[in-house]
Structure 1
Amino acid sequence: MVHTCVVAGCRNRRTPGTGLSFYRFPRDPERKQLWIAAVNRQGWAPNDGSRLCSTHFISGKQVKNPRSPDYVPSVFTPISPEMKEPSRPEVPDKQEARVEAANALLFLQRQGGSGLEEPGPMDANIEGSVSSLTDDDDDDNDDESLNEDGDEMLAQSSVNFDDVLKALRRENRALRDSVEKMSLSENFLRNDAEKVKFYTGLPNFFVLETVMLLLAPHMDAIRNAKLSKFQQLLLTLMRLRLDLRNQDLAYRFGVRVGTVVRTVHHVISIMSSTLVPTAVFWPSRAELRKNLPAALRSSCPDCAVIVDCFTVPCEGPVARGNEQGATAACNILNYLMGVAPQGVVTFISRGVLGNFSPRNLAESSGFLAKLLPGDVVLASRDLDIGDAVAARGARFGIAGCIQDDESRRVEGSLPDTTGVQAHVERVVSMVRRRYTMLTGPVERPFTTAAERTSNLSTFDKIVQVACALNNLCISAAPLE
């Protein structure tokens, strides 16, 4: 806005290069009336846009010390801005001290103290300290005065305002970029595959973005004003990947611990119902034979799955009264995992407490129901499920051995299986190494059923989600 001085006959306007300052009328009623009286315009009252230029003050600026002559404007002979040669800007502290010393001398001379000596440095310091006291009502005047003094300094230095503006914009963009890079958001991981692998376990940002697009429509019900949908997913993946404590994540994302706990449970439930059915499924026999690795194509073309069991310790005893064979309080969870010869997880059971045998685990998890007559089930070690597999019309092989339909082991029937005997163990270790939370110990809140209608605990869902995310990566142990 272009301001014009309200003093009659003064034509000073706020324009670049004038070197003038323009002041609002004070908010203090008493001082404001003194200014109106000094302007001496009959029947006139200032409004919010009224301004008084600095040429009407002895020192060239207003002073808020009531003892200063520039507390009220007193120079009303119009002075052209061209007549005032802009001097070289002085150091602010020295310039302020000189102005205050001159004000004090003028005040004493008006009181009749002519011939007095010029006040020394101590007097100037006292006056400076008094003049620095400001009223709350004049805060706006201070801000404008400082801005106008800054404009005057820039004008005297002949600075190109366009260049200054461009420089400030560049600095602003750089600061915004640096803040976004430090914050845990999309820009923090975008175009940095190493960061994506470290924090999420996924191979690159494209896969992470694809997961986000799949989950986003189902995350609308989660109300979280501080965390975006992407940050909620990232927080959950960091919990699985690095097994960070809730308090650590709360510090990193600037939220409360309760927010971290709720976010992890909600996002895991959404991923379990949305991502797991998409990424963890039992393929058809035609698909298995079509993509069977060369190591098994000739020796075992009917291989449907390679199985293994793994256990996860819990922080403390966990009681589940609805599980057969489980003691009243156990601290070990057992899981049965099935891996296709191509290296992807095709089956994962729910966790079973206690010292469960692999056979009981296979029968209670629904694994046997997925087998077809003629399928071959391989394992890297004896899991004692050969009889149960044979009952489904399938065959079971262990590290170079295979059982016939009468459950008799025939040595050398699968000569090439020695090259894949540790295949499933590598996949299991890959999943658990990629998502450290699966190594345990499991915290007690994750071992209870999240929903009354579901037998799955939150940790069961976490294991399923980890397997689904692992399937989105490159095969852990390709057999080609």
Structure 2
Amino acid sequence: MTPTKSVLKKKKIETDSKRYNRAVDRQKNRDKHHVARVLLELQSAEFVATPYIPEQDTQGLTPFNEVESETCTFTWKGKTEGPGKSLQPCKENDKEKLNELDSRINSEIQRLLSENMALKSELNSFYMNQESFKEDNEKVKYYTGLPNYLTLMVVMDLVSPFLKMKKNMRLGAFERVLLTLMRLKHNFPLKDLAYRFKTSSSTVSRIFTLVIHIMFVRMKHFIYWPEREELQTTMPLEFRKHFARKTSVIIDCFEIFIARPKALLARAQTWSNYKHHNTVKFLIGITPQGSISYISNGWGGRASDKYITEACGILDNLLPGDLVLADRGFDIADSVGVYCAEVNIPSFTRGKSQLSATDVETTRKIAHVRIHVERVIGLVRNKYTILQDKIPIDFLIHEKDEVPTIDKIVNVCCALTNMNESVVGFD
């Protein structure tokens, strides 16, 4: 046999085998369909029992009451079965058994219905939808970082009108906002969120980027610089005691790790000698009451605290007589003085054997109240753990005159933090 004929014969055998398997599968499907039709007919069949009167008794020779206790006919879809056929005759003593059976069946149906409702309710609690979050503030707090369901609905009312429902979109507005908050809160991977919301990773990524942009635009007014009268009216007692009512803002910087850029210039601009890593640095300002009143744009980790403070625009908010509390790295007395304001920073120990008693007391007072800004920074980063992880470079890339995604994320996290209880007590 030539090689060509051998190959053709082998292909013919494979083709016949596949044809045979397809025929077997079709036959199995036909059998399944036949069984299903029979079951449906049985399920919808109506059995009606009527007295059976033999042909010889049709002349009225046999009393009706005697026949009723002995035999019955059964009608199923127009077909009648009499005695001596496959169906058994109906007897008087079977009535009690039938009633008992009917009662047991009804009880079982009620039990199954109750169990079904309980299982549906339990199953809904595992779904990531609006119904599962109602009246469950602990679940809201765990997954979103917000204090309760009412606050979550405030965020929904701000964002949902701008989330259009597309034709092939399976997730509603609530699910999309919830997905975004869950990623901010727990930094779930895209694949994890895709499984939770029964969609694809690429869809999760697009939803996150879109919702973050809408939340940034709609919620940035939650971070605002209050008027002097508002600050002085609600000034905490410890600030009144040490700094009268002059304190307007407490500032500090925090850094977020980023992936290592490929471009050498970007790698140099983002390198932080303090963190020994490529970072993005933000300047944050809080009020004496503990709310975030200012958050800057992102800067490369190489930029100094002093440079960011002078270049980001926070000083434009100062009024004559305001007091700024800061750390030692903020040597900005001259820049603040231009606005007729004052800055208090801890005393330097460089070149001194020890601080004077006055410097020690002043430093102690500043450190005692300046700790609040570190508590707020810790609150933001611990509540929204996406800021603790290494941020991908994609979040830093943006078109000209557009805000990078990392800036939007930080602004949204700070706005959401302001919707929680303050870490600074009035006392």
TM-score normalized by structure 1?
Answer: 0.64
Look up the match of 1:190. 134
Structure 1 CA distance for aligned equivalents of residues 373 and 259 of structure 2: 27
Look up the match of 2:65. none
Q: Which has the higher helix share?
A: 2
Of residues 387-396 and 343-352 in structure 1, the stretch that sits farther from structure 2 once superposed is: 387-396
Look up the match of 1:382. 329
The 8 Å contact of residues 282 and 299 in structure 2, kept in 1 or not, is answered as: yes
Residue 314 (structure 2) aligned to one of 367, 386, 391: 367
- CA drift at 1:320: 11
User: Per-residue CA shift, 1:129-178, capped at 9, x if unaligned?
Assistant: xxxxxxxxxxxxxxxxxxxxxxxxx7671326665554343233212211
Structure 2 CA distance for aligned equivalents of residues 466 and 283 of structure 1: 19
User: Per-residue CA shift, 1:209-252, capped at 9, x if unaligned?
Assistant: 22222222122356663222222122111111111111111122
Q: Which amino acid aligns with 1:241?
A: K
Distance 1:20 1:163, change over 3 A: farther
The 8 Å contact of residues 312 and 334 in structure 1, kept in 2 or not, is answered as: yes
What secondary structure sits across from 1:283 in the alignment?
A: coil
Once the two structures are superposed, the pairs formed by residues 111-260 of structure 1 within 5 Å of their partners are 157-159=101-103, 163-220=107-164, 225-260=169-204
The 8 Å contact of residues 332 and 354 in structure 1, kept in 2 or not, is answered as: yes
Look up the match of 1:281. 224
TM-score normalized by structure 2?
Answer: 0.71
The 8 Å contact of residues 400 and 416 in structure 1, kept in 2 or not, is answered as: no
Of residues 210-219 and 456-465 in structure 1, the stretch that sits farther from structure 2 once superposed is: 210-219
Structure 2 CA distance for aligned equivalents of residues 211 and 262 of structure 1: 20
Structure 1 CA distance for aligned equivalents of residues 317 and 293 of structure 2: 11
Distance 1:190 1:399, change over 3 A: farther
Residue 463 (structure 1) aligned to one of 403, 410, 415: 410
User: Per-residue CA shift, 1:308-363, capped at 9, x if unaligned?
Assistant: 00111112216598x9x937999310100000110010100111124001122123
The 8 Å contact of residues 304 and 340 in structure 1, kept in 2 or not, is answered as: yes
> In percent, how many aligned pairs have the same letter?
33
Residue 216 (structure 2) aligned to one of 272, 279, 302: 272
Distance 1:155 1:370, change over 3 A: same
The answer to whether residue 363 in structure 2 is matched with residue 429 in structure 1 is no
Structure 2 CA distance for aligned equivalents of residues 378 and 158 of structure 1: 81
Once the two structures are superposed, the pairs formed by residues 432-443 of structure 1 within 5 Å of their partners are 432-443=381-392
- CA drift at 1:415: 7.1
Distance 1:479 1:385, change over 3 A: farther
Structure 2 CA distance for aligned equivalents of residues 271 and 365 of structure 1: 22
Q: Which amino acid aligns with 2:229?
A: A
Look up the match of 2:299. 352
User: Per-residue CA shift, 1:244-280, capped at 9, x if unaligned?
Assistant: 1111111222211011101111111111011221x11
Q: Which amino acid aligns with 1:52?
A: K
What secondary structure sits across from 1:477 in the alignment?
A: coil
The 8 Å contact of residues 325 and 345 in structure 2, kept in 1 or not, is answered as: yes
Q: Which structure 1 residue ranges, 5 or more long, are not aligned?
A: 11-17, 24-49, 61-78, 90-153, 402-409
Structure 1 CA distance for aligned equivalents of residues 251 and 72 of structure 2: 84
User: Per-residue CA shift, 1:62-119, capped at 9, x if unaligned?
Assistant: xxxxxxxxxxxxxxxxx9x745875999xxxxxxxxxxxxxxxxxxxxxxxxxxxxxx
Of residues 184-193 and 220-229 in structure 1, the stretch that sits farther from structure 2 once superposed is: 220-229
The 8 Å contact of residues 212 and 230 in structure 1, kept in 2 or not, is answered as: yes
Look up the match of 2:368. 419
Of residues 296-305 and 265-274 in structure 1, the stretch that sits farther from structure 2 once superposed is: 296-305
Look up the match of 1:392. 339
What secondary structure sits across from 1:275 in the alignment?
A: helix
What secondary structure sits across from 2:269 in the alignment?
A: coil
The 8 Å contact of residues 320 and 339 in structure 2, kept in 1 or not, is answered as: yes
The 8 Å contact of residues 19 and 156 in structure 1, kept in 2 or not, is answered as: no
The 8 Å contact of residues 314 and 441 in structure 1, kept in 2 or not, is answered as: yes
- CA drift at 1:200: 1.2
- CA drift at 1:195: 2.2
Residue 473 (structure 1) aligned to one of 411, 420, 427: 420
- Alpha-carbon RMSD across the aligned residues, in angstroms, is 3.6
Structure 2 CA distance for aligned equivalents of residues 194 and 459 of structure 1: 28
Look up the match of 1:290. 233
- CA drift at 1:293: 0.7
Look up the match of 2:85. 58
What secondary structure sits across from 1:281 in the alignment?
A: coil
The 8 Å contact of residues 305 and 339 in structure 1, kept in 2 or not, is answered as: yes
Q: Which amino acid aligns with 1:417?
A: I
The 8 Å contact of residues 305 and 338 in structure 1, kept in 2 or not, is answered as: yes
The 8 Å contact of residues 293 and 479 in structure 1, kept in 2 or not, is answered as: yes
What secondary structure sits across from 1:374 in the alignment?
A: coil
Distance 1:434 1:381, change over 3 A: farther
Distance 1:430 1:400, change over 3 A: farther
Residue 255 (structure 2) aligned to one of 311, 334, 337: 311
Distance 1:57 1:203, change over 3 A: farther
Structure 1 CA distance for aligned equivalents of residues 220 and 177 of structure 2: 15
Look up the match of 1:69. none
User: Per-residue CA shift, 1:267-305, capped at 9, x if unaligned?
Assistant: 11111011221x111111111111111111243211110
Structure 2 CA distance for aligned equivalents of residues 225 and 19 of structure 1: 60
Distance 1:358 1:55, change over 3 A: farther
- CA drift at 1:207: 1.5
Distance 1:335 1:21, change over 3 A: farther
